């Protein structure tokens, strides 16, 4: 269960990350954001994004036709 969801499927880099950044600002510290993305390069993008921002990448998984990420806002 996450606090907010973002569907970024069909968007190419850098749009999933840019929308994620905006969505994280809309939730409180400690809350989680689920992001669905279809961009094949998004796995590396989300790992780098979490390291750069200090937010926690709680999970990253490949599903049938897309990827699912859960991030926790840390600051």
Distances (CA, A) of 18 to 1, 21, 24, 35: 23, 5, 10, 12
Quick check: helix, strand or coil at residue 48? helix
Annotated catalytic residue within 2, 7, 9, 13: 13
**What are residue 65's phi and psi, to 5 degrees?**
-115, 5
Q: Is 13 a catalytic residue?
A: yes
Task: Tell me the catalytic residues.
Answer: 13
């Amino acid at each position: 269960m996450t606090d907010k969801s973002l569907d970024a499927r069909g968007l190419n880099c850098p749009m999933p990350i840019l929308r994620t950044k905006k969505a994280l600002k809309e939730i409180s510290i400690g809350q989680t954001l689920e992001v669905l993305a279809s961009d094949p390069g998004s796995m590396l993008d989300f790992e780098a994004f979490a390291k750069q921002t200090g937010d926690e990448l709680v999970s990253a998984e490949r599903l049938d036709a897309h990827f699912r990420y859960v991030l926790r806002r840390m600051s």
